Amino acid sequence: MEGGNASPGPPLGPALGPLGVNVGAVVAKINEATKDFKGMKVPVEVEVDTDTKQFTVTLKTPTTSALIAKEAGVDKGSGAPGKEAKGNISFQSVIKIAKMKMNDTYAKSLKGVVKEVLGTCQSMGITVDSKPPKEVIKEVDRGLYDNLLREEVA
């Protein structure tokens, strides 16, 4: 769903209507839960108990690329990553995104998730502190950001 823009039309209405649940109430709940993600695609899971007609709405974290695009203030990544930089974000933004994605990854540490986010920046053509993400990954590997990453984990 697009954050804050769920409607009773497809895909929600046709999927929920036959279950007998109040589609308007589901839409209102989704829009309330996703209002902070305006303009971003947010994975939403709706679970319906067909006996009681009760429902639960569970939000998943938006994709890493959507979070990066929002931080960089761009609509999408570069068509030619590595050759054309589409935007720039700070290393603090990378840490912020990594913390949001901690529960959606197999990485064992914040440092690992940071490297995943930097890899996505690379594929999108987004620089980090005006440097190519590959260079920042090497700096992370050399331990230049360990003080920030250690602080954040504790």
Q: Which candidate, 127, 141, 71, places its Cα nearest to that of 99?
A: 71
Q: Which candidate, 73, 66, 76, places its Cα nearest to that of 40?
A: 66
pLDDT in tens, 11-67: 888 988 899 899 999 999 999 988 888 878 888 899 999 899 899 998 888 889 989
| Mean pLDDT of the region 127-135 | 95
DSSP type of residue 35: G
Query: Could you tell me which CATH number the domain at 64-153 has?
Result: 1.10.10.250
Percent of the chain with pLDDT over 70: 97
CATH 3.30.1550.10 is the classification of domain 12-59: yes
Most trustworthy range by pLDDT among 101-110, 116-125, 140-149: 116-125
Structure tokens, 82 = 């590595």
- Give the relative orientation of helices 110-124 and 146-153 as an angle to the nearest 10 degrees: 120
Q: What is the pLDDT of residue 152?
A: 53
Q: Where are the domains of the chain?
A: 12-59, 64-153
pTM of the model: 0.73
